[in-house]
Amino acid sequence: MSELAEILEPTEDSIVKIVAALSLGDVVALPTETVYGLAAIVGDGTALRKIFEVKARPLLDPLIVHVLNLPSLRDLVDVDEKCFDRVRLLADAFCPGPLTFVLKKKKSVPDIISAGKKTVAIRMPSHPIFREVLRRSGPLAAPSANPFGYVSPTRAEHVRTSMGDKISHILDGGPCEVGVESTILDLSGKRFSILRPGAITAEMIGNVLGEEVEPYRPFVAADPSAPGMLKQHYSPHTKLRLFQKSVKEIIPDFWENSTQNSAAIYLSRKEMEPQRMAIGKEKHIFWLSEDGNLNEIARNMFALLRQLDTMQFDSICCQVPKKDGIGIAVGDRLSRAAAKF
């Protein structure tokens, strides 16, 4: 495509246009509460292949299927009543929302979605615009709407900047509320485990199930069973380095060297201010939250990384949050984003 994708306002006419495009085998960008997704109809093999092509995504990386409700989920999975009761409990507590289930799939689910595996990743998004499209289109496969391995998009303009020449339509739903991808919970085996951390934690899930859930443990998957499990992911083009308390941990002369062309991201203005004031001048310093609120940090992280990636810095240095709640997910995304460097 030579022209950049059209960003559509969330009107009835736009939704009709998007659903029509999907029915004709197109892929379109849609807003979710986590990040923007690149969507295609589940039963359309040509459109599904197009997702992989426009993202330059390896076929070994599974897609997440998005459905409207539990009956739609049940149509796609091959599970017994005990397993489905667990899904129902969790859905009552957290869905629609940022929780993805990995379950044994029916043969009707195309192998290209599951990367040839016997399981499928499936969730019920909460964004009202995405849900309205689902009501009219049926289940949609929708990975993040960005080139494979790059920083995830949390605004419509992010999609247009990085993928606008490869797709035709982007439905604008505003900034994403959560800002990091969904929690992925594997319920397909005897032991339940978190494959990718998100806003819904292992503790929260365990409390609902009344059963032990293995918390997320970072590992490298050469043959991933769910999205987001590869060592390198979510990376800006600019070199990314991580620090715990002070940027001096990794660039000792950051504060004193006037030629240092690096940007520093602190989790909060409150943490950043004492160090900045000690120097008496402001350099390329940014923050994700006024007071260190983890939900706000998660919501703003990808957008700020994308912004700084356009500013021709030699490197970006980002503070890592404590491993608590959604902070686990933020730390995971940052560690995978920095693995490239």
Report residue 201: phi and psi, to 5°: -95, 165
What span, in angstroms and rounded, lies between the C-alpha atoms of 340 and 328?
20
* pTM of the complete model: 0.94
What span, in angstroms and rounded, lies between the C-alpha atoms of 64 and 171?
19
Name the amino acid, one letter, at 30: L
What span, in angstroms and rounded, lies between the C-alpha atoms of 51 and 110?
14
Q: Class of 6-209 per CATH?
A: alpha beta
Extract the runs of DSSP E, i.e. beta strands, from the chain.
Answer: 6-8, 28-30, 37-41, 64-66, 99-104, 119-123, 140-141, 169-171, 183-186, 193-196, 239-243, 262-266, 285-287, 315-319
The number of residues making up the chain comes to: 341
Q: Where in the chain is the domain with CATH 3.90.870.10?
A: 6-209
Q: Where in the chain is the domain with CATH 3.40.50.11030?
A: 239-338
Q: Class of 239-338 per CATH?
A: alpha beta
| Among 291, 95, 128, 49, residue whose Cα is nearest residue 205 | 95
Q: What is the pLDDT along the chain (341 residues), one digit of tens a residue?
A: 558 899 999 999 999 999 999 999 999 999 999 999 999 999 999 999 999 999 999 999 999 999 999 999 999 999 999 999 999 999 999 999 999 999 999 999 999 999 999 999 999 999 999 999 999 999 999 999 999 999 999 999 999 999 999 999 999 999 999 999 999 999 998 889 999 999 999 999 999 999 999 988 876 555 566 777 677 889 999 999 999 987 777 877 666 665 568 899 999 988 776 666 554 455 688 999 999 999 999 999 999 999 999 999 999 999 999 999 999 999 999 999 999 88
Cβ atoms 183, 98 nearer than 8 A:
yes
| Among 48, 56, 200, 50, residue whose Cα is nearest residue 139 | 48
